[in-house]
């Protein structure tokens, strides 16, 4: 993926990252406040903290985090050669407005919200496109969530957004639980049947309060179009009994401990559209429509805390609250003040996620090396003084491997040629558009990404932990897909290595392409030694050299 032309960038930047004036007025910039708060009250912090990462590591890290792939060898060379002092800031701003960033956010939020469930009612393609378009426009989080929770699936234009509710088939044990987990950071499932036995803050009324927003809704299948949408009745109350204490409770819709949202007194089971056979009923007063407002209402601080925690975890590799959906008094955030800072900032800037990501990326905390020096002590608890190893997601792994082996560049080249042929008049202009490039590449290479998701992803609850299984290793070790990328073709990595004269040139190009950095002296020597052992530069020896680098620990993680 090549870097964008500067004028375009500036335009985009002005459009999309229009920061509210307040954010920068008198206050210390957010990223500096983050760095100030991270070590507060921790005596040993500086002793255990690591040094800032070098340019190459930073470039790889932030490119992966913000655009979902590693940089090309040319991008690495250019960045290392760049002399300006604010080149990291420039890079971050460039990445944040790229179409690749929107794709990366699409992957992250699709995985978060749908958890790789198989399709039910709304095609994933449409849903993902909706997400990506939202991120291209930096749609604020509260707006996005309002859309997701308020659409009913009948309007073709907004239908993709209903996937969250429809593909869970409105089943309360799924929807209510996931509303709590994904939007409030609280997994209330246990509180379905009784107040949580071990988590004092999770009460049965919390679960049922959430449940009450949707207890009148049902799946409606249009007999003609066969499409499913959401119908709602005008009646139905939620009451509950504890299986332990037999205590009974009743609740109207409510967000955790916020006041109940009582049905209006005059709403007496009146309908805009009355229930009947093959009719989608619509009540005059909809409890469901209260959900989106109550969720994103300024008083619902849990909603902001949750997204702040999740964005932090995306960049830093771990949330302040971990697991991300187990927020309660006995599992408090590790850095409450810092979390408050981010939470308030989200409110102040209108849930501008791109702005938060920018500030996080700019912080020293984010930019610290993941490697501690020989003198440092290993901290007993994670204190964000050292960069975390973040396993690449299946999507990141696939795109990074295709980038490293040169498949991405080679594919883009041929896509461009095709486009010019197909459209001699405007093709040459079109192929320079970053959005066209991203979409064309995605279309051409998505199958490979799917193969990685099949092997490395899994359906069900997300896990921030790292897993590795034998079939994954076999896929990397012997699978035909990765092997096919090693065969020299066009300008791909093996072809380029083949053309190089000396072993040390090979070592350098390999390291730049795969590890996104220059080799250290001993590393280059090791490569030279390997090549000398293996009949110089036999094609097979080169292919397996690339393979060994691709399947190494260093490549597997964002470090």
Partner 1 sequence: MRRNQGCNHLDHHLARRQFLAGAAGAMGLGLLGSPATAEKIKGQHKRVLQIYLQGGVSQLESWDPKPGTEHGGPFRAIPTSVPGMHISELLPYTAKQMHLLSIVRSINLKTNDHRQGRLFMEKGRRAGEYPYVGSIASKYLAPANSELPGYIHISTRGLTDSTSAFLGAQHGQLKFEGVKPPKNLAVPKGLDETADARRVQLREQFNQQFRVGRPKSLTESFDASFQQAAKLMGRKELFEKAPDPKDLERYGKHDFGRNCLLARALLENNATCVKVTHHGYDSHAENFNFHLEQLGEFDKTFAMLVDDLHQRGLLESTLVMVYSEFGRTPKINVRYGRDHWGTAWSIALGGCGIQPGAIIGTTNEKGTAVADREVDAGHLFHTYLQALGIDSTNDHDIAGRSIPIGDPTAQPIKELLS
In the region spanning residues 451 to 470, those forming contacts with partner 1, defined by CB under 8 A, are 458-461, 463-470
Which is nearest to 206 in space by CA: 328, 124, 87? Answer: 328
Q: Please, what is the minimum distance in Å from the beta carbon of residue 473 to partner 1? A: 4
For the chain, give percent helix, strand, coil, nearest 5. 55, 5, 40
Q: Please, what is the minimum distance in Å from the beta carbon of residue 132 to partner 1? A: 26
Q: Please, what is the minimum distance in Å from the beta carbon of residue 333 to partner 1? A: 11
In the range 502-541, which residues lie near partner 1 by CB under 8 A?
Answer: 520, 522-523, 526, 530, 533-534, 540-541
Which is nearest to 527 in space by CA: 549, 496, 557, 499? Answer: 549
Q: For residue 432, state whether it binds partner 1 (rule: CB under 8 A).
A: no
Which is nearest to 96 in space by CA: 136, 129, 131, 133? Answer: 136
Q: For residue 240, state whether it binds partner 1 (rule: CB under 8 A).
A: yes
Q: Please, what is the minimum distance in Å from the beta carbon of residue 144 to partner 1? A: 26
Instruction: Single out the segment in contact with partner 1 by CB under 8 A; choices: 128-136, 154-162, 240-248, 396-404.
Output: 240-248
Return the ∠ at Cα 402 (arms to 399 and 406), rounded to 5°: 140
Report helix, strand or coil for 277: coil
Nearer to partner 1, 252 or 548 (CB): 548
**Residue in 226, 422, 478, 521 binding partner 1, rule: CB under 8 A:** 478
Q: For residue 248, state whether it binds partner 1 (rule: CB under 8 A).
A: no
Residue 390 φ/ψ, nearest 5 degrees: -115, 115
In the range 299-338, which residues lie near partner 1 by CB under 8 A?
Answer: 318, 322-323, 326, 330-331
Whether 66 contacts 357, CB under 8 Å: yes
CA distance 541 to 549: 12
Nearer to partner 1, 347 or 540 (CB): 540
Q: For residue 45, state whether it binds partner 1 (rule: CB under 8 A).
A: no
Nearer to partner 1, 88 or 196 (CB): 196
DSSP-derived letter for residue 25 is: S
CA distance 324 to 385: 20
CA distance 317 to 333: 15
Nearer to partner 1, 156 or 380 (CB): 380
Which is nearest to 209 in space by CA: 143, 265, 262? Answer: 262
In the range 367-396, which residues lie near partner 1 by CB under 8 A?
Answer: 370-374, 378, 380-382, 388-389, 391
**Residue in 2, 74, 473, 499 binding partner 1, rule: CB under 8 A:** 473
Q: For residue 544, state whether it binds partner 1 (rule: CB under 8 A).
A: yes
Q: Please, what is the minimum distance in Å from the beta carbon of residue 288 to partner 1? A: 17
All residues at 6 or more sequence positions from 411 whose CB lies less than 8 Å from its CB, including other chains: 402, 441, 444, 445
Instruction: Single out the segment in contact with partner 1 by CB under 8 A; choices: 132-140, 399-407, 417-425, 548-556.
Output: 548-556
Residue in this structure with the two tokens 């006995």, named with its chain if needed: 330
**Total chain residues near partner 1 (CB under 8 A):** 79
Q: Please, what is the minimum distance in Å from the beta carbon of residue 22 to partner 1? A: 35
Q: Please, what is the minimum distance in Å from the beta carbon of residue 177 to partner 1? A: 9
Which is nearest to 224 in space by CA: 166, 182, 278, 301? Answer: 278
Q: Please, what is the minimum distance in Å from the beta carbon of residue 223 to partner 1? A: 24
- Specify the pairing of strand 248-251 against strand 271-273: unpaired
In the range 207-226, which residues lie near partner 1 by CB under 8 A?
Answer: 211, 215
Q: For residue 549, state whether it binds partner 1 (rule: CB under 8 A).
A: yes
Return the ∠ at Cα 279 (arms to 275 and 280), rounded to 5°: 80
CA distance 258 to 280: 31
DSSP 33-58: HHHHHHTTT-TTHHHHPPPBPPHHHH
Instruction: Single out the segment in contact with partner 1 by CB under 8 A; choices: 16-24, 89-97, 184-192, 273-281.
Output: 184-192
Q: Please, what is the minimum distance in Å from the beta carbon of residue 548 to partner 1? A: 4
Instruction: Single out the segment in contact with partner 1 by CB under 8 A; choices: 146-154, 236-244, 261-269, 424-432.
Output: 236-244
User: Using CB under 8 A as the criterion, what x/- string covers residues 153-172 for binding partner 1?
Assistant: -------------------x
Instruction: Single out the segment in contact with partner 1 by CB under 8 A; choices: 88-96, 142-150, 271-279, 544-552.
Output: 544-552
The encoded tokens of residue 129 equal 């496109």
Q: Please, what is the minimum distance in Å from the beta carbon of residue 453 to partner 1? A: 12
**Residue in 197, 259, 350, 490 binding partner 1, rule: CB under 8 A:** 197
Nearer to partner 1, 18 or 474 (CB): 474
- Specify the pairing of strand 282-283 against strand 271-273: antiparallel
- Phi/psi region, residue 223 (left: phi>0; alpha: psi -120 to 50; beta: rest), is alpha
In the range 91-130, which residues lie near partner 1 by CB under 8 A?
Answer: none
Nearer to partner 1, 85 or 463 (CB): 463
Nearer to partner 1, 12 or 493 (CB): 493
Q: For residue 440, state whether it binds partner 1 (rule: CB under 8 A).
A: no
CA distance 462 to 268: 42
**Residue in 217, 314, 547, 558 binding partner 1, rule: CB under 8 A:** 547
In the range 409-428, which residues lie near partner 1 by CB under 8 A?
Answer: none
All residues at 6 or more sequence positions from 472 whose CB lies less than 8 Å from its CB, including other chains: 455, 456
Nearer to partner 1, 266 or 553 (CB): 553
CA distance 367 to 31: 11
Tell me the H-state helices in 156-233: 163-166, 172-178, 184, 204-214
């Amino acid at each position: 993926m090549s870097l964008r032309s500067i004028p375009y960038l500036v335009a985009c930047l002005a459009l999309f990252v229009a920061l509210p004036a307040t954010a920068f007025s008198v206050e210390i910039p957010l990223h500096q406040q983050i760095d100030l708060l991270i070590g507060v009250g921790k005596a040993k912090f500086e002793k255990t903290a690591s040094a800032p990462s070098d340019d190459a590591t930073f470039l790889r890290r932030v490119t992966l985090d913000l655009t979902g792939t590693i940089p090309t060898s040319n991008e690495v060379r250019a960045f290392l050669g760049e002399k300006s002092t604010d080149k990291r800031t420039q890079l971050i701003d460039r990445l944040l407005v790229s179409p690749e960033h929107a794709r990366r956010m699409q992957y992250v939020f699709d995985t978060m919200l749908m958890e790789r469930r198989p399709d039910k009612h709304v095609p994933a393609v449409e849903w993902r496109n909706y997400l990506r378009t939202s991120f291209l426009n930096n749609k604020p989080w509260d707006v996005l969530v309002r859309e997701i929770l308020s659409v009913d699936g009948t309007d073709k234009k907004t239908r993709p957004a209903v996937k969250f509710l429809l593909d869970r088939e409105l089943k309360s044990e799924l929807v209510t639980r996931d509303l709590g987990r994904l939007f409030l950071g609280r997994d209330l499932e246990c509180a379905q049947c009784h107040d949580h036995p071990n988590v004092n803050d999770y009460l049965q009324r919390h679960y049922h309060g959430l449940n009450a927003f949707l207890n009148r809704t049902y799946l409606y299948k249009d007999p003609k179009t066969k499409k499913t949408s959401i119908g709602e009745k005008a009646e139905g109350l939620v009451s509950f009994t504890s299986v332990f204490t037999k205590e009974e409770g009743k609740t109207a819709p409510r967000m955790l401990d916020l006041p109940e949202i009582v049905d209006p007194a005059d709403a007496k089971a009146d309908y805009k559209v009355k229930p009947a056979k093959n009719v989608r009923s619509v009540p005059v007063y909809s409890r469901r429509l209260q959900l989106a407002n109550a969720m994103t209402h300024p008083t619902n601080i849990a909603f902001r805390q949750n997204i702040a925690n999740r964005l932090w975890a995306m960049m830093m590799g771990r949330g302040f609250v971990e697991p991300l959906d187990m927020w309660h008094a006995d599992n408090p955030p590790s850095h409450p003040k810092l979390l408050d800072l981010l939470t308030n900032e989200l409110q102040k800037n209108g849930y501008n996620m791109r702005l938060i990501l920018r500030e996080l990326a700019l912080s020293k905390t984010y930019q610290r090396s993941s490697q501690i020096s020989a003198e440092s002590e290993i901290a007993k608890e994670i204190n964000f003084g050292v960069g975390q190893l973040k396993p690449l997601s299946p999507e990141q792994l696939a795109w990074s491997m295709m980038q490293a082996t040169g498949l991405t560049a080679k594919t883009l080249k041929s896509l461009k040629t095709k486009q010019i042929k197909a459209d001699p008049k405007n093709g040459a202009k079109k192929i320079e558009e970053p959005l066209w490039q991203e979409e064309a590449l995605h279309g051409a290479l998505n199958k490979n990404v799917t193969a990685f998701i099949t092997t490395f992803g899994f359906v069900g609850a997300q896990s921030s932990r790292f897993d590795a299984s034998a079939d994954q290793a076999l896929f990397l070790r012997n699978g035909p897909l990765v092997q096919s990328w090693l065969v020299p073709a066009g300008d791909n990595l093996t072809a380029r290595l083949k053309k190089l004269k000396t072993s040390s040139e090979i070592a350098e190009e390999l390291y730049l392409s795969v590890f996104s950095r220059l080799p250290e002296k001993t590393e280059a020597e090791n490569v030279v030694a390997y090549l000398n052992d293996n009949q110089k530069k036999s094609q097979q020896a080169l292919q397996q050299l690339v393979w060994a680098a691709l399947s190494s620990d260093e490549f597997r993680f964002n470090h």
